[in-house]
Amino acid sequence: MKRSAFGRDAGLSVRMLLTSGLLGLLYVVFAVVLFSILNVGLVAMLVIVGGLALFQYFTSDKLALASARAKVVSAEEAPELHAMVERLCALADLPKPRLAIIDTDVPNAFATGRSPKHAAVAVTRGLWERLERREVEGVIAHELSHVGNRDVLVMTLASFFAMLAGVLVRFGMYGGLLGGGRNRDSNGPPIWLIVLVVSIVTYAISFVLIRALSRYREFAADRGAALITGAPENLMSALQKITGEMARIPQRDLRQVESMNAFFIVPTNIRSRAAGLLQTHPPTEKRLAALAEIAREMGRPV
Amino acid sequence: MGLRDLLLGRRKLKEASTDQLFALSTARVTLETELGLRPAGRAGICFKPLSAGEFARAAGELAELLTVAARDSDSRVTQSTDEHGFQWIVVDDPELEDLITTVHLVGTDLAARGFGAQLLAAVFRFEGRERPVYWIYGYKRAAFWPFVPTGRGQERDNAEELKLKAQLEGELPVEQDLTRWLGLFGAPV
């Protein structure tokens, strides 16, 4: 068997390129339209949104850990978890991230941080208690793959202009409410209306594209986890357990962590009826099918 | 990692490098005469087994190869699995040279079969001080680092390790990034 036979998925790469390409095209159109009608004031706005994005980028780890109420644990407090992560990091040739535990019974995990050196991986108490060690290993390898693939950087870049569009939507609405914005000529629609419509359209399309990109990154991280652990079946059973356990636990407990959905290995709102296009994660069945395919490539049908 | 791999999220596992292993035999004199550390005649290779059947076959063939090699150099080879599910090949031989050669053989053999990325570390045990000193070779880092467990839980003697790093730096490729100094507590070495 040639190891190079797995580790890449041509179809997934094409879809990811296509999505980022569409997103880039959309942003260019958006920027051109804005510049042609709003040549004054736009630079200031770009600076503000750029500042916001940078702030988000540099504080992502602290924000995410704080909003999930994750407590960073030392090697003395959680020796087994530390030992497991150290070994996986050595295999993946990544520096060891900070480790945090979230005190909830819901089994889940997330990774955050702008670079491998500033990364943090958080697991819930439920994950550690309800899953077997080799399954936890699969989950942590998935999170380490997010770190190695620099997903926080990629997603921050991908959502930069969406943030600008979002800001402009609010701005345009205020403009409309206050009756501000002067017409270029008496016949055309007011500038604020054009900006509002363009921003809303950009925001809506980029939202769908960003979510698609997020789902592709999940597939990529699943693949990375299979590579690091060498055992896709462990992540498969972990995903099944996490999804199954979450369905059994009362929703009240889930809502505590709901704001963290995009980060988690499996989002907690699995019962929501949102269309697939708007989800941050692919459906578990699709992830299982992709992992089974990787297992087959690796010479182990499951 | 290239920009394309970053955009596509397909970071690959780094292959193992066995190039720097023999540096340990050069450093042996300094270890023994200046630091009072003599080889304990035992070394171990730690790797993550794949669940694929192909890997089991490769590991089996490797074991056979090792048995033959061991017969030639009068060393003893044993295999075990640790609590983390990693596999160990432990080599007993009074000669440090033979230990290094066997460890190198395992590395190159697994790499030749396409499983080099599964190699985690090689561990060489040294004695002569109050506590055993381990030199760990990281296959992904192509460098050594010292590991001195105190024996109390998962505690290591960092002061001693840093001293060893300073003393051996000239002769041994020592890992400079301290965060990569993986500790292997409970290693069967």
Q: What's chain A's average pLDDT? A: 81
Question: Which residue of B3, B10, B88, B182 to mutate against A (max A Cβ within 10 Å)?
Answer: B10
For residues A174 and B49, which has the higher predicted lDDT (pLDDT)?
B49
CA distance A178 to chain B (A): 42
Pairing between β-strand A70-72 and β-strand A120-124 as defined by DSSP bridges: unpaired
Long-range CB pairs of B184-188 (<8 Å, 24+ gap) are B184/B46, B184/B121, B184/B123, B184/B134, B184/B136, B184/B147, B185/A83, B185/B149, B185/B154, B186/B82, B186/B83, B187/B44, B187/B46, B187/B82, B187/B88, B187/B123, B187/B134, B188/B44, B188/B80, B188/B82, B188/B88, B188/B90
Which of the four pLDDT bands, split at 50, 70 and 90, describes residue A1? very low
Choice between B113 and A38, residue whose per-residue pLDDT is larger: B113
B178's CB contacts (< 8 A; 6+ apart) are none
Contact at CB, B54 and A299, closer than 8 angstroms = yes
Q: Residue A187 — very low, low, confident or very high, per pLDDT cuts 50/70/90?
A: low
- What residues of A act catalytically? 143
What is the rounded distance in angstroms from the CA atom of residue A98 to the CA atom of residue A120? 4
Return the closest-CA partner of residue A68 out of A114, A123, A118, A113.
A123
Instruction: Sort out which chain B residues have CB atoms less than 8 A from A17's CB and list them.
Output: 7-8
Q: How far is B105 from chain A (nearest CA, A)?
A: 19
Characterize the bridge pairing of strands A98-102 and A120-124: parallel
Q: How far is CA A224 from CA A9, A237, A264, in A?
A: 11, 16, 16
- Name which of A4, A20, A89 is nearest B7 (Cβ-Cβ): A20
Among B1, B5, B8, the strongest candidate for a mutation testing the A interface, having the largest count of A CBs within 10 A, is B8
With an 8 Å Cβ cutoff, are B8 and A16 in contact?
yes
- pLDDT lower than 50: segments of chain B: none
pLDDT at residue number A3: 39
CA-based nearest distance B142→chain A, Å: 11
Beta carbons of B133 and B164 less than 8 angstroms apart: yes
Tell whether B57 lies on the interface with A, counting CB pairs under 8 A.
no
Query: Cβ B12–A229 below 8 Å, yes or no?
Result: no
The most confident of the ranges A34-38, A298-302, B116-120 is B116-120
Long-range residue pairs from B129-133, CB within 8 A, at least 24 positions apart, any chain: B129/B36, B129/B37, B131/B157, B131/B160, B132/B40, B133/B37, B133/B160, B133/B164
Q: CA of B118, closest CA in chain A: separation in Å? A: 7
Q: Report pLDDT digits (tens) over A217-249.
A: 999 999 999 989 988 999 999 999 988 877 776
pLDDT at position A2, please? 36
Higher pLDDT pick, A9 / B110: B110
pLDDT band at A156 (very low <50, low <70, confident <90, very high): confident
> Contact, A147 vs A111, CB < 8 A?
yes
Q: How far apart are CA A60 and CA A297, in angstroms?
A: 36
pLDDT tens column, A70-102: 999 998 899 999 999 999 999 999 999 999 999
Check whether A210 has a pLDDT greater than 80: yes
Mean pLDDT of A23-49: 76
Q: Which residues of A touch B180 (CB under 8 A)?
A: 90, 95-96
CB-based contact A93 B14, cutoff 8 Å: yes
Provide the whole-model pTM.
Answer: 0.84
- Kindly state which CATH superfamily the domain B19-175 is placed in: BMC (bacterial microcompartment) domain (3.30.70.1710)
Partner A contacted by B142 (CB < 8 A): no
